């Protein structure tokens, strides 16, 4: 099933995140990285890690945090290695500090929403009670050649077919349903998968490269957004929002060009902080 209508979330000059529907693909003309040129930004520091953003934006986000209804909350974080790798503590501490929150990490390296050697569904199953649950999408379903599925997998449409949990969409929908049953009043937020730079498939939206199933990375991300839209869950479009390109990516990644460096975590923390504070 091809998704003809997807959510597009663009970071505008006002730094507000807007939702709109669109009947085309994420064409390169909509890619927002061209508004992020280093000459427009100052280099700020957090725990000696460089963050590229302007000082006014940082202050706006901090001000938002001081007024956010998500202050003093317990947050559960699910996903793959981005949630728990070597330098991920930089990310967590930044968000915890500015929201006076506590983050419990359930994420496990290598796990996607339906990977067979362990997955985010299992993370959600063992999670405790929290105020906010964050699903951070990864590259792992793509890399493990898990079928992306459709937005109707493991929903009332297919009668919550257990076999449908073996797709990315089925796994996402299972996680959402389980969290809502576990804690009906909790908030659920979703962070879309970010780029990687080991090959063209990870950093070019319209790339002809695919996994062995024949699906490009962009297809998985579009379906993440569509599942979130269907469930009425706020979705952060990491691909289009983060100012990371083939030109400037190296400081933000480890030598594997896949996992975030100290600078990468410090950079992404601010954008995620704004999203969490305002949703």
Through-space distance between the first and last CA atoms of the chain, rounded to whole angstroms: 30
Question: Distance of CA 88 to CAs 27, 61, 74, 80, 263, Å?
Answer: 31, 20, 18, 11, 11
Report the C-alpha gap between 102 and 100 in whole angstroms.
Answer: 7
Q: How confident is the model at residue 10 (pLDDT cuts 50, 70, 90)?
A: very low
Per-residue pLDDT tens for 33-57?
A: 332 233 333 334 334 444 455 678 8
Is pLDDT of 157 > 80? yes
pLDDT in tens, 228-256: 999 999 999 999 898 899 999 999 999 99
Q: How confident is the model at residue 9 (pLDDT cuts 50, 70, 90)?
A: very low
The rounded distance, in Å, linking the Cα atoms of 78 and 134 is 6
* pLDDT, mean of residues 55-69: 91
Q: Which residue has the higher pLDDT, 33 or 78?
A: 78
């Amino acid at each position: 099933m091809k998704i003809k209508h997807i959510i597009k979330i663009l970071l505008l000059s006002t730094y507000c995140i807007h939702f709109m529907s669109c009947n085309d693909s994420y064409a390169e003309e909509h890619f927002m990285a061209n508004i992020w040129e280093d000459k427009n930004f100052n280099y700020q520091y957090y725990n000696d890690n460089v963050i590229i953003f302007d000082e006014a934006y940082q202050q706006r986000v901090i001000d938002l945090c001081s007024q956010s209804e998500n202050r003093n909350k317990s947050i559960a974080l699910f996903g793959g290695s981005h949630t728990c790798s070597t330098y991920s503590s930089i990310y967590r501490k930044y968000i915890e500090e500015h929201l006076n929150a506590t983050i419990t990490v359930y994420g496990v390296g290598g796990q996607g929403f339906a990977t067979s050697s362990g997955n985010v569904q299992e993370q959600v199953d063992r999670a405790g009670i929290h105020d906010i649950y964050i699903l951070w999408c990864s590259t792992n379903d793509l890399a493990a050649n898990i079928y992306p599925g459709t937005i109707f997998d493991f929903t009332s449409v297919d009668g919550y077919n257990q076999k449908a949990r073996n797709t990315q969409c089925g796994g996402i929908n299972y996680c959402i349903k389980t969290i809502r049953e576990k804690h009906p009043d909790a908030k659920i937020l979703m962070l879309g998968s970010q780029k990687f730079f080991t090959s063209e498939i990870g950093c070019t939206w319209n790339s002809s490269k695919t996994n062995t199933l024949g699906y490009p990375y962009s297809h998985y991300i579009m379906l993440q957004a569509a599942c979130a839209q269907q469930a009425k869950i706020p979705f952060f479009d990491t691909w289009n929002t983060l100012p990371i390109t083939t030109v400037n990516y190296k400081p933000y990644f480890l030598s594997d060009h896949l996992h975030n460096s100290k600078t990468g975590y410090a950079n992404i923390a601010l954008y995620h902080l704004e999203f969490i504070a305002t949703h």
